[in-house]
Amino acid sequence: MVLFNRKGKTTSDIIFDCMIFVFCVFIFLIIAYPLYFVVIASVSDSTLVSTGKVLLYPKGFSLFGYTEIFKDTRIWVGYKNTIIYTLLGTFVNLLFTLPAAYVLSRQEFKARRFLMFVFVFTMFFNGGLIPTYLLMKDLHLTNNMWVFIVPFSVNVFNLIITRTFFESSLPKELFEAAQMDGCTHFQFFGKVALPLSKAVISVVGLYYLVGHWNDFFTGLIYIRDYSLQPLQIVLRDILISNQVFAEGAGSGGAAGGYAQKYADQIKYGVIIVSTLPILLVYPFIQKYFEKGVMIGSVKG
């Protein structure tokens, strides 16, 4: 662990390093403890958890929460669907967004400002749920897996971020220089822009990926068949099934002691189950955030 590099340090730098160290530890603890709590709570007795008896280690250890979650066979269908929708969806997202962002970053493109306005406008004004639903119905996208992939494939926020990156890292001069050699926009995009933008592609790709992974609203409204539902819907169902309802007591027995004991385990277990895959994917993307990814591109 090399936190301090003693070579040529001034006092102010050492103080600086100390402060950074303190901050980092603070941030780490503040964030890590509740996450750790989630893990131990997912295997502890719920009653003990909600009365605050569980602090540093699990109490009343039981895997009921996880068995409940995994014995529901829908979860494997959910995992499968989500993986398909996420991979396919992210691919389409990038396919549409990256070229569009590139175009919008070219200052010589006359319609640039107008089109940007057209895109941004949709971030604010939309027709509402019902007209959108009717449109999906007319396009036969309801109860159909493509509703996860095509309709919302361009997220304007991500488009803007990508455009900003292209603007600052692909100046006009670069393209003009290439143009002299007979390069077209297509070629420039494919051969120069994309390789230089690994960082932003990773970020935007990650955003889209996580967007798909966490999406439960699309499935909620447009899908009827359980065989098409993504993971989040299944988890949400399991989660809500195991809450304890106040009105439930008389007109419903969910408050019965049996369900009571394990209710919260499921709540916390659900987080783990849904986050674990992302945790596995992230390290692969993270390496694109390393310093010095863009070596020697623009001189002067």
Q: Looking only at residues 29 through 58 of this chain, which bind other proteins when binding is defined by CB under 8 A?
A: 30-35, 37-38, 41, 46-47, 49-53, 55
216 in Cβ contact with 236 (< 8 Å): yes
What minimum distance in Å lies between the beta carbon of 243 and other proteins?
Answer: 7
Counting contacts by CB under 8 A, is residue 59 touching other proteins?
Answer: no
Go through 210-245 and write b for each residue having 16 or more CB atoms within 10 A of its CB, e for each that does not: ebbbbbbebbeebbeeeebbbbbbbbbbbbeebeee
Instruction: List the one residue from 63, 87, 129, 177 that touches other proteins (CB under 8 A).
Output: 129
d(CA 290, CA 190): 22
Count of positions on this chain that bind other proteins (CB under 8 A): 159
Counting contacts by CB under 8 A, is residue 195 touching other proteins?
Answer: no
With respect to other proteins, which residue has the nearer C-beta, 83 or 160?
A: 160
What minimum distance in Å lies between the beta carbon of 208 and other proteins?
Answer: 13
* Stretch 241-260 residues interacting with other proteins (CB under 8 A): 241-260
With respect to other proteins, which residue has the nearer C-beta, 26 or 61?
A: 26
* Stretch 276-295 residues interacting with other proteins (CB under 8 A): 278-279, 282-283, 286, 288-295
163 in Cβ contact with 104 (< 8 Å): yes
* Stretch 80-109 residues interacting with other proteins (CB under 8 A): 92, 95-97, 99-100, 102-104, 106, 108-109
Counting contacts by CB under 8 A, is residue 189 touching other proteins?
Answer: yes
Instruction: List the one residue from 169, 174, 192, 211 that touches other proteins (CB under 8 A).
Output: 169
Counting contacts by CB under 8 A, is residue 130 touching other proteins?
Answer: yes
Nearest Cα residue to 268 out of 28, 27, 50, 76: 50
What minimum distance in Å lies between the beta carbon of 227 and other proteins?
Answer: 8
Q: Which residues contact 154 (CB under 8 A, 6 or more apart)?
A: 93, 96, 97, 100, 119
187 in Cβ contact with 145 (< 8 Å): no
d(CA 152, CA 44): 40
Sign of CA pseudo-dihedral 154, 160, 162, 166: positive
